Amino acid sequence: MEPDLEKRLSAALVASAGGFLRNPIRRDHVTCAVCTTPIEERYSLCFPCKQHRLHIGTADIVAPVTYAVALQQSGYIMRGYKARPRVDAHYRLVGMLTVLALSKHGACAGMIAGCPVTHWASIPSLPARPGEHPFHRIVSGSAPGVEVKLSAAVRPSDARAVSANHFTAGVTLPPRSHVLLLDDTWARGGHAQSAALSLRRAGAERVSTLVAARWIKRNYADNARFLDGLPDYDPDVCPWTGGTCPT
């Protein structure tokens, strides 16, 4: 994206949603080292992410762009943008948030990995639904590299489970492929990690997952106090590091 356009898009996003969006926090024993949800101090991972580690081949790194809080404006936006009929204002906000994150921080995954992103994929609905997913429409013009089109299973036995059989890449990826996997919302992470496994099966050497929003419930545990202590959203904060971009 041209620097002037990126600057204007950043200003527009902050003006319209900066007051209720929040950058995810990466802090040892405060938030999960994978998905950035708040955790108890004695742990480093939340329970779902710990369970995901039982599967070999999950994503190398996960980066949520913002928190989506259930029953608050950020949560309504992540639901409304893909509702039928969709809420156009919500669709525009998710579009700005995601396209700006790809422009500012899409290459950061390659910097961390030591190898550039070569391919990208977005996660379709599970079970499979007809038509283009709204999130695919948002990212298709901005994601780096060559697209790997994922197909979802029509009748998965357990859609919440982590399984490489939930998605099919349909191609064999070349050696040293680094796939940027894109998803709109991470709740427990099962869909994203299933997609990562399917990309590994197709030959991906690295999978970096960029998620528009990490779903969080304000009324769970000490989440309300955690959320109330967060500053307003800043597009310059790198979702991969929680601070400055890697160099």
pTM exceeds 0.95 for this model: yes
- CATH number assigned to the domain comprising residue 224: 3.40.50
Give Cβ neighbours of residue 32 (< 8 Å, ≥ 6 apart): 38, 39, 43, 44, 45, 46, 49
Structure-block tokens of residue 20: 């209720």
For residue 67, being part of any structural domain is answered with yes
For residue 56, being part of any structural domain is answered with yes
For residue 237, being part of any structural domain is answered with no
For residue 156, being part of any structural domain is answered with yes
For residue 110, being part of any structural domain is answered with yes
| One-character DSSP codes across 21-50 | --PPP--TTTB-TTT--B--TT-SS-HHHH
For residue 24, being part of any structural domain is answered with yes
For residue 53, being part of any structural domain is answered with yes
Determine if the peptide bond prior to 127 is cis (ω within 30°): yes
Instruction: Return the SS3 of 120.
Output: strand
pLDDT tens for 22-79 read 999 999 999 999 999 999 999 999 999 999 999 999 999 999 999 999 999 999 999 9
Number of domains in the chain: 1
Domain coverage including residue 134: 3-228
Sign of the four-CA dihedral 176, 181, 186, 189? negative
